[in-house]
Amino acid sequence: MRFFVLGNDQKPQVREAAARLRPVLEHFGEIVVFDLRQEQDLSRVDADVAIVLGGDGSILRAARQMGYRQVPVIGVNLGTLGFLADLSPDALVDELPGLRAGDYRVAAHLMFECDFPVSGGRQVVLGLNEVVLHALSAGHVTELDLLIDDVPVTSFRGDGLIISTPVGSTAHSLSAGGPILSQELPAFVITPICPHTLTYRPLVDAASKQYTIRVRRPEGAALTADGQFLGQLPGGETVTVRRAGVSFLLVKIAGRTYYQTLRDKLHWGTPPNYRTEPPAG
């Protein structure tokens, strides 16, 4: 097998895990890129699997680094939650023989393109989780218009709006009251952040559509994608979110399901911890 080994060497645990795993991975295949600083251009390099060390943030960075030539990712959790980074370093070592034998499947997940104005034109960035337009500072509100396929949908007043993929539905969108979407569903969810009315609720719609947000307030709004600040948009400008022409590829190990991850990581669907009453008498 040919491996990318990616991560963030600013974290000591990533450097330690990389040093420990490197000879093991070389036993099972060839490491064609070993980059813990997100410096290398991966668009001209082929690999079978990208081993990403860290947490979900490391996986988001790796997805951006791979760009439009995505390689199936195995996330090794060295962070706090690790919703996408599902394996420990020891578990990865245990799974390597099965990986070399092809005993796994690859799930394709929706990615987005965010098209936004910059000085002298427009820029497009690729992302995996979500796009957020929000007020410039805490305690302030923003006003936004939402259009879907150029059809006016609603005008919004509040802290901001999130347009999230299914993978991102368990991140910022979930914290703002959005639904959990099955990760392989071809859909976006639009989630309001602290709307100034009780009538706004999250909306799920098809990934085949194009989503446009127009900034209404003259002072503008801030734009982020996958937690990265993209800039401040003045009033009257628009941001467009659409399905990307490439998918994020995640290796699924046999015997581990998405619903098990929901239960283990988010405690979704777990029953209350009922107290056992002492027997009567």
Give the CATH number for residue 27: 3.40.50.10330
Looking at the structure, tell me whether residues 130 and 45 fall in a common domain. Answer: no
**pTM of the predicted model over 0.85:** yes
Taking residues 158-183, report their average pLDDT: 95
Looking at the structure, tell me whether residues 236 and 261 fall in a common domain. Answer: no
Task: Report if residue 277 sits inside a domain.
Answer: no
Taking residues 225-237, report their average pLDDT: 94
Task: Look at residue 102 in the predicted model and tell me its pLDDT.
Answer: 86
Task: Look at residue 281 in the predicted model and tell me its pLDDT.
Answer: 61
Looking at the structure, tell me whether residues 34 and 73 fall in a common domain. Answer: yes
Task: Report if residue 281 sits inside a domain.
Answer: no
Task: Look at residue 206 in the predicted model and tell me its pLDDT.
Answer: 98
Closest by alpha carbon to 71, among 3, 22, 129?
3
Quote the percentage of the chain above a pLDDT of 90: 70
Task: Report if residue 275 sits inside a domain.
Answer: no
Print the domain residue range for 174. 112-243
SS3 22: helix
Rounded CA-CA distance 257/250 in Å is 13
Looking at the structure, tell me whether residues 252 and 239 fall in a common domain. Answer: no
For residue 160, list its beta bridge partners. 134, 193
Assign 81 a pLDDT band (cuts: 50, 70, 90): low
Q: When comparing pLDDT for 148 and 43, which is higher?
A: 148
Instruction: Supply angle C-alpha 45, 49, 51, rounded to 5.
Output: 105
Closest by alpha carbon to 92, among 38, 42, 63, 49?
49
Looking at the structure, tell me whether residues 82 and 153 fall in a common domain. Answer: no
Task: Report if residue 25 sits inside a domain.
Answer: yes
Taking residues 28-40, report their average pLDDT: 93
Task: Report if residue 231 sits inside a domain.
Answer: yes
Q: When comparing pLDDT for 272 and 247, which is higher?
A: 247
Task: Report if residue 162 sits inside a domain.
Answer: yes
Looking at the structure, tell me whether residues 125 and 95 fall in a common domain. Answer: no
Looking at the structure, tell me whether residues 117 and 232 fall in a common domain. Answer: yes
Assign 261 a pLDDT band (cuts: 50, 70, 90): confident
DSSP single-letter state for residue 267: -
Is the model's pLDDT at 29 over the cut of 70? Answer: yes
Say which CATH number the domain at 169 has.
Answer: 2.60.200.30
Looking at the structure, tell me whether residues 155 and 175 fall in a common domain. Answer: yes
Looking at the structure, tell me whether residues 138 and 239 fall in a common domain. Answer: yes
Q: Chain centroid to CA 184: how far?
A: 13
What integer best gives the mean pLDDT of the chain? 91
Looking at the structure, tell me whether residues 214 and 225 fall in a common domain. Answer: yes
Strand order of the sheet with strand 2-7? 30-35, 2-7, 49-54, 73-77, 248-253, 104-109
Rounded CA-CA distance 124/199 in Å is 32
In the numeric block, the tokens 């245990």 are attached to 94
145 is catalytic: no
Task: Report if residue 280 sits inside a domain.
Answer: no
Catalytic choice (35, 56, 149, 264): 56
Which of 101-110, 123-132, 211-220 ranks highest by mean pLDDT? 123-132
Task: Look at residue 130 in the predicted model and tell me its pLDDT.
Answer: 98
How many other C-beta atoms can be found within 10 angstroms of the C-beta atom of residue 194?
A: 13
Looking at the structure, tell me whether residues 32 and 20 fall in a common domain. Answer: yes
Instruction: Please count the structural domains in the chain.
Output: 2
Task: Look at residue 258 in the predicted model and tell me its pLDDT.
Answer: 81
Rounded CA-CA distance 47/14 in Å is 21
Looking at the structure, tell me whether residues 66 and 22 fall in a common domain. Answer: yes
CA distances from 184 to 87, 177, 236, 263 (A): 20, 20, 34, 18
Task: Report if residue 51 sits inside a domain.
Answer: yes
Q: When comparing pLDDT for 272 and 145, which is higher?
A: 145
With residues binned 3-state (H G I as helix, E B as strand, rest as coil), the percentages for the chain, rounded to 5, are: 20, 40, 40
